[in-house]
A and B are shown apart, each in its own frame.
Chain A
Amino acid sequence: MRVSKISGGYPGGFYLKKISFVIEKGKMYALLGLNGSGKTTILKMICGLLKTESGNVFVENIDILSLTEKERAKIISYVPQESNIVYDMSVLDVILMGISPYLKIFQSPNRKHVEQAYSLLKKLGIEDLGETNYQILSGGLKRIVIIARALLQNGEYMILDEPDSNLDLINKHKLMKKIREITDTYQKGCLISMHDPEYALNYCDNILLLREGRILEIDLNTEDKISIENKLREIYGNIKILQYKQKYVFYYE
């Protein structure tokens, strides 16, 4: 996916100018930035939820912003921070929503779709949750269910908006591991906005740093510690990256 010079924002609010970057399949990209730097705005523009003023998002030379919602939903799955499910609903019903882009007009999911959803639940190790009420799940499981919905949607790219917010330490790690696993197994291109640089350093392939409307990219697979540290200092100020058992520890002075 090639995001090419997209500009846009909210009237009267902040505005992002000519943002460009590339998302490759099978890789995890962390979008980092301070509060109000425009992370969600970028994600929403890519998913077509917020109109861009100019620029394109190309997937295989097709500008996906010019597609209908239905066509775009087959290419990008969007995982919101928290799903707005108001009433009681079974986990199966929540996941089945992911099949929507493939339904014909007036159609609803059939037995085959239900089987697909169950096999997905099995792959994620939560097959016994099918008939459970989504509302009684823990925060961590709720996110996994929404990610399962995105997997059923089967887009080549997954866009996740702060999936780790409001989760405890253990659940954060579990969730990030799961996303890493999904990225590798299904060869998805994942773009994840997040707050904690430590998780980005330890789980992602690339970091996109958003500062004052500009993107600064870090390739974690090729760049060394010093170079990563210098780039991160641009937005976090006086920080240090320590290494312990091949993991990074983020230290703020």
Chain B
Amino acid sequence: MLNSKQTCFQNNRFNKSRILVAVSIMILLALFFISLCIGKYRLLFGDILKILNHTQENLMAVNVFYTLRLPRSIMAVLAGFGLSMAGSVYQTIFKNPLASPDIIGVTSGANVGAALCIVLISGNMFIVSLGAFLGGIIAITFVIGLVKLSGTNNIQTYVLSGIVISALSNGIIMTIKYFSDPENELGAIEFWTMGSLGSITATKLIMILPFLLIGVVGILLMRWDINLLSLSDDEGKALGISVERSRFLVLLFSTLVVASIVSVTGLISFVALIPPHIARTLLQKNNFTTILFSGILGAILMTFSDCLARSLLPSELPISIITSFIGAPYLAFLVCKKNLV
């Protein structure tokens, strides 16, 4: 039994988690405002206030703000939130601290979709986005089909099917690259896999918003089932949930989130993997609060990385370069601490 000192400490931890969430939201807001200012076309804080008050006379500034800067900053927050939230959900239901949307082939499917569109149709960003979205959805459909076909609906089958689909996708991507025009198309494919928020516009944001919302709301509704899916299948069933159906729905919703994001941003490394770890380490628990907190931390990481991506060099950097250089050292740190869970 614990003594009263320890109990007191436990209660403090409960309050600590509220403070952590509040502080992280404030950091996110601050970063969001900074990201509204940074870019090739510099906007000062005063300019933004004027734009919001409708007193800005410089039409160029107004245009940049509404059609590019604001949608991009919002997208950075949404993408970070969505990817990390989905990552946290994947890590919970796969009971694996290294699980991410790659594990069941969503991202590799999106990659195939994008590459196919670039080579066969055109490099038009709308078409590529649509292709990537469909690619991700088709990949998860194949994974679920394979799980059904195998007749063994457990978590290992999902992982194995994901590996199959990823391997197949890789094969297809290599074939596409081999036959693509090295002058333009190959570059476009490679660039897509490095991710960027550079091409986000208000139209694109509005285009993916419904899918993203359906996914996020779905995850919100399934919050209790996600908790129970972190147990073994037998335990979940004995506690009265229909494990197979719940897992299917949760995977579907989180895939919707991931596919709608990567369809417009391209692949973004580590954002789905690292923030859930930090969230669990800080809160020392894993429930729906942790999943939401992962989302907030992901939004911070993404907004911060995007600020660096647009300001480090005269020309813009792909965002995965930044997230990889932040994510890999953190992962190394986890390995040394042997604190992978």
Chain A interface category by residue count = 35 or more
Q: Does A83 contact B (CB under 8 A)?
A: yes
The stretch among A58-66, A103-111, A244-252 that forms the contact with chain B is A103-111
Say whether B287 contacts A89, CB under 8 Å: yes
Q: Does A54 contact B (CB under 8 A)?
A: no
Q: How far apart are A81's CB and chain B's nearest CB, in angstroms?
A: 10
The interface residues of chain B, by DSSP majority, are classed as helix
- Which B residues lie within 8 Å of A106 (CB)? 221-222
Q: Does A101 contact B (CB under 8 A)?
A: yes
Q: Does A49 contact B (CB under 8 A)?
A: yes
User: What's the tally of chain B residues with a CB closer than 8 Å to chain A?
Assistant: 38
- Which A residues lie within 8 Å of B336 (CB)? none
Given A108-B288, A131-B13, A47:B231 Cβ within 8 A: no
Q: Does B182 contact A (CB under 8 A)?
A: no
- Which A residues lie within 8 Å of B95 (CB)? 84, 86
Q: How far apart are B87's CB and chain A's nearest CB, in angstroms?
A: 14
Closest to A132 in B: B10
The proximity string for B residues 223-247 relative to A, scoring 1 for CB distances below 8 Å and 0 otherwise, is 1100110111011011111110000
The stretch among A17-25, A68-76, A163-171 that forms the contact with chain B is A68-76
- Which B residues lie within 8 Å of A93 (CB)? 227, 285, 287
Given A90-B285, A133-B285, A84:B240 Cβ within 8 A: no
Say whether B240 contacts A74, CB under 8 Å: yes
Q: How far apart are B116's CB and chain A's nearest CB, in angstroms?
A: 37
Q: Does B11 contact A (CB under 8 A)?
A: yes
Say whether B2 contacts A109, CB under 8 Å: no
The proximity string for A residues 90-130 relative to B, scoring 1 for CB distances below 8 Å and 0 otherwise, is 10010001101101001111000000000000000010111
Q: CB within 8 A of B284: which of A71, A76, A88?
A: A88
Q: Does B14 contact A (CB under 8 A)?
A: yes
Say whether A84 contacts B237, CB under 8 Å: no
Say whether B14 contacts A97, CB under 8 Å: no
Q: CB within 8 A of A132: which of B2, B231, B283?
A: B2
Interfacial residues of chain A within 21-51, with CB under 8 A of chain B in the complex:
44, 47-49
Q: How far apart are B303's CB and chain A's nearest CB, in angstroms?
A: 26
Q: Does A77 contact B (CB under 8 A)?
A: yes
Q: CB within 8 A of A128: which of B1, B97, B231?
A: B1
A and B contact pairs by CB, cutoff 8 A, 16 listed: A47-B237, A69-B237, A70-B240, A73-B240, A74-B240, A76-B238, A84-B231, A87-B97, A88-B286, A97-B228, A128-B2, A129-B1, A129-B2, A132-B6, A132-B10, A153-B240
Report A's interface with B, CB cutoff 8 A.
Answer: 44, 47-49, 68-74, 76-78, 80, 83-90, 93, 97-98, 100-101, 103, 106-109, 126, 128-133, 141, 153
Q: List 18 other contacts, CB 8 Å, given A69-B238, A86-B95, A107-B224.
A: A70-B241, A71-B240, A73-B239, A73-B240, A84-B95, A85-B231, A88-B283, A88-B284, A90-B287, A100-B228, A100-B240, A108-B223, A108-B288, A128-B2, A131-B10, A131-B11, A132-B6, A132-B10
The 5 closest A-B pairs by CB, nearest first: A73-B240, A101-B240, A87-B286, A78-B238, A131-B10
